[in-house]
Homo-oligomer: A and B are copies of this chain.
């Protein structure tokens, strides 16, 4: 009971609300998601959702969780196990494409201070994180896995957001894709040439020891 599958008066309103919310996000393209609007869409009184979600944020978290799952699917489809720069670029393109194709959902997923209480949301986030971490480990076997995964995620995530916010032109999909590819490749290449300058110390394993004379400790939380 109270479980997801149960069907009382309405027939699993809990799931119907998430579905309605996703539809509204898809249609209105960008704007805010009103709980009353979702209820209206589901053909139910404005107070009905409160039987299933404590507040608007909880519903949004459920919606975000669906978004995380669909995002991981899309990334896996783009490339199941990326290891070359081209593979990485393909996954990056898929990530940004997701943000561009479903901007409203993407904003629900990443736009606001998220509900740390939603275990559903936390789990879905962890899945994305794990996927990115796996990529990092495969692509850069000799690096600090956690640092690399966050760096890669950040690069891709930032590209997605800058396009979404109009800081980078995203009118032409293929243009966006090529820009993402170029960015990834360019950063890799340029980093290589820069590293050549700074190779007083050996590259590729200095996450633990001497670093680059800059940061005395690598992490700590």
On A, residues with C-beta under 8 Å from B are 30, 78-79, 84-86, 89-90, 93-94, 97, 101, 103, 107, 110-114, 116, 125, 129, 139-140, 142-144, 147-148, 150-159, 161-162, 164-169, 171-175, 177-179, 181-198, 203-208, 211-215, 217-221
For A26, give the chain B residue with the smallest CB separation.
B221
Residues of B within 8 A of A215 (CB): 78, 89-90, 93-94, 177-178, 181-182, 185
Residues of B within 8 A of A191 (CB): 187-188, 191-192, 195
Q: Are B221 and A175 in contact (CB under 8 A)?
A: yes
Q: How far is the CA of A128 from the CA of B169 in the complex (A)?
A: 16
Q: Are B161 and A110 in contact (CB under 8 A)?
A: yes
Q: How far is the CA of A144 from the CA of B78 in the complex (A)?
A: 26
Contact residue among B111, B150, B159, B221 (Cβ-Cβ distance under 8 Å from A154): B159
Minimum CB–CB distance from A139 to chain B (whole Å) comes to 6
Residues of B within 8 A of A107 (CB): 112
Q: Are A203 and B188 in contact (CB under 8 A)?
A: yes
Q: Are A212 and B89 in contact (CB under 8 A)?
A: yes
For A152, give the chain B residue with the smallest CB separation.
B187
Q: Are B217 and A178 in contact (CB under 8 A)?
A: yes
